[in-house]
Amino acid sequence: MFVCVSTECLPDMPLATAMERLAELEFTAVELDVRAGGGHLDPAAVAADPDAAIAACSDLQRLRPVAVSFAAPETPEMYDHFTACCRLAKSLGVVTMVVESSELGTPFNGEIERLRKLVAIASGLGSVVGVITAAGRMTQDAETTASLCRNVPGLGVTLDPSHFIYAHKKPASWESILKYVCHVHLRDSKVDAFQVRIGQGNVEYGKLVAQLERVGYKRALCAHMPPLEGVDQVAELRKMRLLLESLL
């Protein structure tokens, strides 16, 4: 396992500036945020001008790209945008594509079909899809997420423990999806707050690392922490890096 950081942790900086700052914080691996309406890269722009997208990622300040996080509205063009982002990932040597599941209420069979399309596109370009666990979406509970993985060959999971802690009287179990985990998003959380300062929440990082080691997980532990109002984001990121590195 190794530590990485999402560019989404510094959303108000241009990509090049964010990369420079993350390198100064001594991170060595990075997840690129490619999201419609606010990411460092826009999926439609990546599709419209792939060379410009590659150029934007040309100076990663010694940071090794290890994942691309893709988020875009469900439109007819979405699959073309996803294909372009998978090509960008391939050009950067990235394997893991993080995607969202559909919102709760989506027919199960329809979601299986959608995820199968995404997995087929990604696998054709040498990538693995890791659907992220998230409240309000079909992956909000572990059993449904595991069922999606069983029905979509090749589908992996991006585990975000915060969604199993926030708004739960006691942390929900994610044991059933551990064998499918291909990426991990981390911050600190507690029952009444989705994100709190590092050390003030209920995420048991050591226990999580032990669980992942048990299933042979060898990929990234990604700091995924949008800025908190009134909190020094640089200090929080440094604290998270040192915490995670101490466990590995």
Average pLDDT (119-129) is: 98
**pLDDT above 80 (res 61):** no
Q: What is the arithmetic mean of pLDDT over 9-17?
A: 93
- pLDDT band of 37, cuts 50, 70, 90: confident
Distances (CA, A) of 161 to 117, 142, 152, 184, 239: 26, 11, 22, 8, 18
* Residue 38, pLDDT score: 83
Mean pLDDT across 153-160? 98
Domain ranges, ordered by start, for the chain: 2-247
Confidence of residue 134 (pLDDT cuts 50, 70, 90): very high
- Would you state the pLDDT for residue 170? 81
- Looking at domain 2-247, its CATH architecture is Alpha-Beta Barrel (3.20)
Q: Decide if pLDDT at 50 tops 90.
A: yes
What's the whole-number mean pLDDT along residues 158-184?
93
User: Quick one: pLDDT band at residue 178, thresholds 50, 70, 90?
Assistant: very high
Lowest mean pLDDT among 59-63, 195-199, 214-218, 220-224: 59-63
The rounded mean pLDDT for the chain is: 95
